[in-house]
């Protein structure tokens, strides 16, 4: 009887624990086909296929869908500010949650352009070292921890792809994290902590390396 009682108690506790634990919500992808009909306003800066023609404007093609959706909502809710994006806010406000997800799905489904890093051996070596190994003594972790070895990020976690991203955008983003200007999102404090230990030259080297990084 004692053994039966212990078994019953163990099962009861396990059942109770399972009831108490909330299962994570599975991300359901948007409709890329419908999203393609909603991006005319976005194409002026980000290109018809999501590949920007300006180094200061980010490529969206091939980006993490979850990350893109989060950024669209940050802009829509005013949590993330950008002078150029201000003109698009009224349009974002007119869209439903599903339509925003469809836009994110459209851009995520497209191939991104391959960047070409500056042919500067010293700059490339510094960028590669920081990206792959970081500098632990200075509190700079390897970028690969979140953005992967080849820079394609982590879609499930919502970590963005950085491979081939526009050099100017990467540089301004790292500087915005360093200054604290960019502070939206769950992982902003992580990026701020990393960027605050980077010099201007190191930001330049990392931006150049990631711009030329591809799978």
Query: What CATH number does residue 71 fall under?
Result: 1.10.760.10
Has residue 213 got a pLDDT over 80?
yes
pLDDT at position 129 is: 98
pLDDT at position 151 is: 96
- Among 87, 109, 131, which residue terminates a domain? 109
The pLDDT of 72-78, averaged and rounded, is 96
* Same domain membership, residue 168 and residue 92: no
* Same domain membership, residue 125 and residue 205: yes
Three-state DSSP at 8 gives helix
Domain count, the chain: 2
Has residue 138 got a pLDDT over 70?
yes
Q: What angle do CA 167, 48, 143 make, to 5 degrees?
A: 30
C-alpha dist (Å) from residue 204 to 82, 138, 183, 194: 21, 18, 21, 15
Q: What percent of the chain has pLDDT over 70?
A: 88
Q: Which of 211, 30, 23 is nearest to 124 (CA)?
A: 211
* Same domain membership, residue 103 and residue 140: no
pLDDT at position 128 is: 97
The pLDDT of 129-153, averaged and rounded, is 96
32 close to 61: Cβ distance less than 8 angstroms: no
Pairwise CA distance, residues 9 & 86, whole Å:
59
Residue 26 is assigned to a structural domain of this protein: no
* Same domain membership, residue 126 and residue 85: no
pLDDT at position 15 is: 47
* Same domain membership, residue 190 and residue 125: yes
Q: Domain limits at 172?
A: 121-211
pLDDT at position 54 is: 95
pLDDT at position 113 is: 87
* Same domain membership, residue 155 and residue 201: yes
Residue 170 is assigned to a structural domain of this protein: yes
Most confident of 27-31, 112-116, 143-147, 182-186: 143-147
Backbone torsions φ then ψ of 150, nearest 5 degrees: -100, 10
pLDDT at position 211 is: 97
Residue 92 is assigned to a structural domain of this protein: yes
Residue 24 is assigned to a structural domain of this protein: no
Beta bridge partners of residue 154, listed in sequence order: 159
* Same domain membership, residue 202 and residue 168: yes
The pLDDT of 129-154, averaged and rounded, is 96
Whole-number average pLDDT of the chain: 90
* Same domain membership, residue 87 and residue 55: yes
- Among 69, 88, 109, which residue terminates a domain? 109
The residue among 206 and 22 whose pLDDT is bigger is 206
pLDDT band for position 26 (cuts 50, 70, 90): confident
Residue 126 is assigned to a structural domain of this protein: yes
């Amino acid at each position: 009887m004692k053994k039966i009682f212990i078994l019953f108690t163990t099962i009861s506790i396990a059942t109770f624990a399972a009831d108490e634990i909330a299962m994570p919500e599975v991300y359901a992808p948007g409709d890329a086909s419908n999203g393609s009909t909603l991006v005319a306003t976005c194409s002026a800066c980000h290109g018809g296929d999501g590949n920007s023609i300006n180094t200061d404007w980010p490529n969206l093609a091939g980006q993490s869908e979850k990350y893109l959706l989060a950024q669209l909502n940050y802009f829509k809710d005013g949590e993330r500010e950008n002078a150029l994006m201000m003109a698009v806010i009224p349009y974002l406000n007119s869209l439903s949650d599903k339509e925003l997800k469809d836009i994110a799905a459209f851009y995520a489904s497209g191939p991104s352009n391959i960047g070409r890093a500056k042919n500067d051996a010293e700059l490339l070596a510094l960028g590669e070292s920081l990206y792959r190994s970081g500098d632990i003594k200075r509190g700079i972790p390897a970028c690969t921890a979140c953005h992967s070895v080849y820079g394609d990020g982590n879609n499930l976690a919502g970590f963005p792809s950085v491979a081939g991203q526009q050099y100017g955008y990467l540089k301004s983003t790292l500087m915005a994290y360093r200054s604290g200007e960019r502070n939206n999102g769950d992982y902003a404090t992580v990026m701020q902590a990393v960027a605050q230990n980077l010099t201007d030259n190191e930001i330049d080297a990392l931006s150049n390396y990631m711009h030329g990084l591809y799978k």
